[in-house]
Amino acid sequence: RGSEYGYVSQEIYDGGLTRYLLYPVSFLGYKYVTHFAVQLIAIFQLTIALGVLILLMGLPADQNVSLMTFGAGILTCFIAGAMHFAMALCLEFIAFWQDIIWNLMVMLRFIVGLLGGGMIPISFFPEWGQAVVAVTPFPLLISFPVRVFMGQVPMAEWVQSVGLLSIWAVVFGLFAY
């Protein structure tokens, strides 16, 4: 339940946030650990699904999928999850001043889906649109992890992009903190 959108803001609205002031546990730490646990379950489900799919259908000949690309994809997903958590947390903390923030969370989900390549592949964007989207963190949340899992990202690009993803996660994390 801790990874759902609106859960932090709901605790702010309900006054549940005050109990964390009494506990010897960091509120943000607790929420991130909860989010991380949900990510672990999702990665486990992904591993099982991909394993069954590969056993039933085999690997496509034109894909460079290997254990190394799968491990890099998992690490990329965890870092992308941390960045997405921090982005959502920045918006959820607006609940201290705003009564309703679900519209902001829907907007974030839409923007991440659109500019991240989840709704329309980024390669379908015009050249100028691809250049604009490339300087945002959104492709690193959807398009990049998928490309890593598919073995389409060379090691040098992966290291550079994971570094950039980590920087974005720290920036959003500091902003939320």
**Is the per-residue pLDDT at 4 higher than 70?**
no
Q: Does residue 119 surpass a pLDDT of 50? A: yes
> pLDDT (tens digit, 9 = 90+) per residue, 80-117?
999 999 999 988 888 888 888 888 888 999 999 999 99
pLDDT band at residue 171 using 50, 70 and 90 as cut-offs: very high
Report the mean per-residue pLDDT for the chain.
86
pLDDT of residue 2: 38
Q: Which long-range contacts (CB under 8 A, 24 or more apart) does 148-156 make?
A: 148/69, 148/72, 148/73, 148/76, 149/65, 149/69, 149/70, 149/73, 150/63, 150/64, 150/65, 150/69, 151/63, 151/64, 151/65, 151/66, 151/69, 152/64, 153/69, 153/72
DSSP string, 20-66: HHHSSS-HHHHHHHHHHHHHHHHHHHHHHHHHHHHHHH---TT----
Q: What is the pLDDT of residues 62-86, one digit of tens each?
A: 777 788 888 999 999 999 999 999 9
Residue 6 above 80 pLDDT?
A: no
- Between 146 and 20, the higher pLDDT residue: 146
Q: Kindly indicate the confidence band of residue 10, based on its pLDDT and cuts at 50, 70 and 90.
A: confident
Lowest mean pLDDT among 4-8, 68-72, 117-121: 4-8
